[in-house]
Structure 1
Amino acid sequence: MIDTHAHIYLDDFKEDRHALLDRARERGLQKILMPNIDSSSIDDLLALEASAPDLCVGMMGLHPCYVKKGFEKDLYEVESWLAKKRFCAVGEIGTDLYWDKSLWAEQQEAFQIQLNLAKQHTLPVSIHSRESTAEALAIVEKLQDGKLKGVFHCYSGTIAQAEEAIKLGFYLGIGGVATFKKGELNDLLKTIDLKHLVLETDSPYLAPVPYRGKRNEPSYLHYIAEKIALVKNISVEEVIAQTTTTAKTIFTV
């Protein structure tokens, strides 16, 4: 399995990070892809990647919830790192209308700049689009020239929006929300072909049932695979095989 989105470099894992990686390996994790947040998280992300290069692979980007006034300084650092080191993606980037709408113009600008950086470096993107799927899709559509690809992480839009994302060359990241009783992803999972989905945990957030409300970690990824298999009435092995192949195709890991 490949966890396509996990923030395991955060302090939430400070006390047991090595044990966490061992648990992930034991559960069959081949790679854990780690999206960056802002300039303050880069050092910890790179340190973890260097300490476990067989498993941990970094992305570089500025998360929309951390786009502030003067965000250009953070983006300059993102651009600088992309120029001197190979990452598996530009991420976590995108839009967020859940937490703070006051910097919407800046969010959109930062997103567009980073999509162009992804095209410049021939890298996929990991897109955050909480409460703003339509807006994020519109920006991607405007900039799509055949060079953009990636994942709508923690996908929470409609089936029609999912089909639009797929038409634009993107995939859907499915995480712990799929296991929630009111997660409302069952219809989407039934409708969208498995080949358009990838697995993710978004650790330490959104832990799947039976760990809902607790700290999430990559070793819980199989609960998400099991849920997809149940909804689609196929084997867990098929889910794991296809999502792993898809993740490798997107991210070249």
Structure 2
Amino acid sequence: MLIDTHSHLYDEKFDEDRDAAVDRAKEAGVGRLLLPAIDRESYDAMFALARRYPDYCFPMMGLHPTSVNDNPAYREDLETVARYLADPPEGIRFCGVGEVGLDLYWSRDFLDPQIEVLRFQAELALRYDLPLVLHTREAWDEMCDVLRAFRGRGLRGILHGFSGTEAHYRKIGACGTFLLGIGGPVTYKRSAVAELLPRLSPEELVLETDCPYLPPVPFRGRRNESAHIALVCDKVAELYGTAPEKIAEITTANVRRMFGDAIFS
């Protein structure tokens, strides 16, 4: 079984064929979809998908770092995240706190509020004993600095779309238990993460699509979807010189270890 640990299948880009996309994922051997939240504009669509497929789609709760930028109401949005985690909507069980983190790609002007929001949500992850799904873009040094304050407190989670260095991974690994989220970019010709993987163990990885974004080869330039996780698995298996079935087995066991009964009960 494969697990897509990062799927935005509730995104409006799937409004015309969402059920068909779920069917294609199942046909590709995907046994679970984990749904990271973005912001209050997307929560209802995510809840609707999770309710439609309660044993297949598992939602998270969180505020994305770019949703902090130019948002004077970000603290109110944070309170919404806290309220949902304390009292989930009917029919909803959250499996993680995410997608949260730091994103300085567009601007560094919002670093301080992004750090504030990340710290708040890391505390929520600890409070509810949930994995933290971290988005980091052009901010790996800053992410290491933030997580250092949580060292020894039992923080755990996934480094979504990992694009840092081995040194970044080791620094973050000293702050908690984190797995690397590996997606479509591992299939690209010039892929730093593809060069990094042979120096790591498959037991440190999970697979993801980030659909509808970051499609693997040969779908670059097109909408990504969860069924394409099989192509990511194939490439990871190639890099390790093993069978895709073995990588599927190992990464699924890694997900089980990280998320436990939240998605396997």
User: Does TM, scored on the shorter chain, surpass 0.5?
Assistant: yes
Q: SS of 2:30's equivalent?
A: coil
Aligned to 1:33: 34
Aligned to 1:80: 83
Distance, in Å, in 2 between the alignment partners of 1:15 and 1:70 is 32
Q: Deviations over 1:132-185 (max 9, x none)?
A: 112112211212333210001000000111222333311100000000001222
Distance, in Å, in 2 between the alignment partners of 1:11 and 1:148 is 32
Distance, in Å, in 2 between the alignment partners of 1:172 and 1:69 is 32
Distance, in Å, in 1 between the alignment partners of 2:201 and 2:17 is 37
Q: How does 1:127-206 map to 2 (within 5 A)?
A: 127-167=134-174, 168-206=176-214
Distance, in Å, in 1 between the alignment partners of 2:134 and 2:207 is 14
Q: Deviations over 1:37-68 (max 9, x none)?
A: 01111111001000011210000000001012
Runs of 4+ residues over 3 Å off in structure 1: none
Q: SS of 2:101's equivalent?
A: strand
Q: How does 1:14-33 map to 2 (within 5 A)?
A: 14-33=15-34
Task: Report the Cα offset of residue 186 of structure 1.
Answer: 2.3
TM-score normalised by the chain length of structure 1: 0.97
Task: Report the Cα offset of residue 235 of structure 1.
Answer: 1.2
Distance, in Å, in 2 between the alignment partners of 1:121 and 1:160 is 29
Contact 2:97/2:133 (8 A) holds in 1: yes
Aligned to 1:219: 227
Aligned to 2:50: 49
Task: Report the Cα offset of residue 232 of structure 1.
Answer: 1.0
Contact 2:154/2:177 (8 A) holds in 1: no
The equivalent position to 2:119 in structure 1, one of 90, 107, 112, is: 112
Distance, in Å, in 2 between the alignment partners of 1:173 and 1:40 is 25
Contact 1:60/1:89 (8 A) holds in 2: yes
The equivalent position to 2:255 in structure 1, one of 243, 247, 252, is: 247
Task: Report the Cα offset of residue 72 of structure 1.
Answer: 0.5
Distance, in Å, in 2 between the alignment partners of 1:95 and 1:224 is 25
Task: Report the Cα offset of residue 83 of structure 1.
Answer: 0.4
Q: Deviations over 1:188-241 (max 9, x none)?
A: 111011100000000000000010111000000011111111111111111100
Q: SS of 1:185's equivalent?
A: helix
Q: SS of 1:143's equivalent?
A: coil
Q: SS of 1:30's equivalent?
A: strand
TM-score normalised by the chain length of structure 2: 0.93
The equivalent position to 2:133 in structure 1, one of 126, 134, 138, is: 126
Contact 1:8/1:217 (8 A) holds in 2: yes
Q: SS of 2:130's equivalent?
A: coil
Distance, in Å, in 1 between the alignment partners of 2:212 and 2:220 is 11
Task: Report the Cα offset of residue 104 of structure 1.
Answer: 1.1
Aligned to 1:71: 74
User: What code does the residue aligned with 2:148 have?
Assistant: E
Moved more, 210-219 or 163-172: 163-172
- Aligned residues, how many? 253
Contact 2:36/2:59 (8 A) holds in 1: yes
